[in-house]
Chains A and B, each alone.
Chain A
Amino acid sequence: MRRYVMVLLVALVLTGCGSAEFPELDGSLLGDGSTAVYGVFRDGTRVAEVTMSVSREAEGWSFRNVTLADGEILEEATVKADGEFRPLSGHVVIRTSAGEYDIRTQYSGRRVIIEAETPDGSQTIKRTAKEPYVDNDQLLNLIRTMPLGEGFETRIFLVSPKTATLVDARIKVEGLEEVRVPYGEFTAYRVALIFEIVEQTAWYSTEGHILLKYYNGATTLELERLE
């Protein structure tokens, strides 16, 4: 009986141990960086604006996402990554009616330390991530560096400091589509983002892998400006 229990426990742990490799990434697709502004639409109404920036720094990359609504910043997220896009640190500030959440994350190998200042007090969470992983706020820009094409599929773990969760994510090109957004009309890869049991969709231009549109099940982001 004890043997069966041990086998079961090992099997359970192994189910959570992916053996996926970090996908081959092409940083040249990002150039020296870019800033893209997206309108956030819910039921056809523009409810907010998201600015996504990526920039090359001395020893790596910086990813920054800012969400604005009614002229106020609701959320600011910054991720610093090394030259191979592995996250080094993250900082998220979320402003809600309940107060401000300030979340700082340190990445060191597989070790992840999340320190949060919340209206309910401070909290420190230490976890060991599974490889390969990236910070959630890197993902949409990081996909731009992947070898998108017919049949492309990869698996990666997402660390979400806001919820202190590790999510098994699959990224899969489902095909080509013509996409019209305020910035223009493009031929795009339709990319499925499968986060365990939640599926979202993003569209990347075939030329330059620009994120054109993103649908998370409730709201849609559409590219309006690109610098």
Chain B
Amino acid sequence: MSVVIASVTLLLAAVVLVRVLSPGEWRRPAWWAAVVGGMLSFPVALGIQPTLQKGYLVYIGQAITAMGVPALIADGGLALISGIVQEAVKLLAVFIVFKVGATRLPGPLGAATGLGFGVIEAFSLVFLPLLGTGVHPVALVERVFATTFHAGVTFIAAAGLTGGLRGAAKGYVIAALLHGMLNYGVILKAHWVLGLLGTEIWVAVGSLLTLGWAWRLRAR
């Protein structure tokens, strides 16, 4: 499949997500600022995350496994770090737009930030590197679900901003844990527990459950 077709498909999926999580909100400048915030968040997260994960492996992961903890569990820290970093960076972007934009609905801004983050992630990690060879349908489906997850989980994290510092902390912790659980599928694949299909099902189910949670929050 050509990269152009894959890109159009992903953007169409993003439009559907906009309809589900922030209907009407996309007309506001603050919503688009949140999309850009999400796009800018991705390289920031990419700059922080690998260093922390490498540090975890060297200083914590090896110590934990030396204590007899199975590597399958110890490596879960790597998945959790991705959640901790990416959700923090995205939530910071939402917070800035939320305060500057003077909007009363942070949830849709979170969805916008997640969409921006997910789309740039798909282009940076999958579509552009495969410009010459094309995108496999499985990779496209995975990116659609990953973008869905980013939109849903950042909606959940952002919704906490209406509850002050306590609400924001609660939203962030939930989002980081959900993200860690989703990425644990990759750890299970790396440990040869799940195959490719199992990993993709893991990502799809996790993304849809997260989207459902965000949708229920929006309905309230």
Question: Using a CB–CB distance below 8 Å, which chain A residues touch chain B?
Answer: 8, 11-18, 125-130, 164-166, 168, 196-198, 217
Contacts and interface: CB of A to CB of B under 8 A. Distances in A.
A15 B192 contact: no
B190 A11 contact: no
B136 A16 contact: no
Given A16-B193, A197-B139, 19 more contacts: A11-B201, A12-B202, A14-B198, A15-B195, A15-B197, A16-B194, A16-B195, A18-B195, A125-B71, A127-B191, A129-B192, A130-B192, A165-B190, A165-B192, A166-B192, A196-B195, A197-B136, A197-B196, A217-B133
Contacts of A168: 195-196
A16 to B, nearest CB: 3
Contacts of A12: 194, 198, 201-202
A126 B136 contact: no
Nearest to B54: A120
A197 B197 CA distance: 10
A128 B192 contact: yes
Interface string B159-202: 00000000000000000000000000000001111111110011
Nearest to A128: B192
Contacts of A127: 191-192
Nearest to B57: A123
Contacts of A13: 193-194, 198
Interface in B118-137: 133, 136
13 contacts: A12-B198, A13-B193, A13-B194, A15-B194, A15-B195, A15-B198, A16-B198, A18-B195, A127-B191, A128-B192, A165-B190, A196-B196, A217-B133
A126 B71 contact: yes
A164 B196 contact: no
Contacts of B192: 16, 127-130, 165-166
Nearest to A196: B196
A188 B103 CA distance: 68
B217 interface: no
A12 B196 CA distance: 10
Chain B contact patch, size range:
10 to 19
Nearest to B62: A123
A219 B113 CA distance: 40
Contacts of B138: 197
Interface of B: 71, 133, 136, 138-139, 190-198, 201-202, 205
Interface of A is mostly: mixed
B165 to A, nearest CB: 32
A127 B193 CA distance: 9
Nearest to A217: B133
Nearest to B136: A197
Contacts of B193: 13, 16
Among B138, B195, B202, the most chain A Cβ lie within 10 Å of the Cβ of B195
A105 to B, nearest CB: 14
Contacts of A198: 136
A128 B194 CA distance: 12
A129 B133 CA distance: 30
A130 B201 CA distance: 19
A135 to B, nearest CB: 14
A221 to B, nearest CB: 18
Nearest to B133: A217
A128 to B, nearest CB: 6
A126 B192 CA distance: 10
A11 B202 CA distance: 10
Nearest to A12: B198
A8 B194 CA distance: 13
Nearest to B194: A16
Among all A-B residue pairs, the 10 with the closest Cβ atoms: A16-B195, A15-B198, A197-B136, A166-B192, A15-B197, A16-B198, A196-B196, A12-B198, A16-B194, A197-B138
Contacts of A17: 195
Among A125, A164, A166, the most chain B Cβ lie within 10 Å of the Cβ of A166
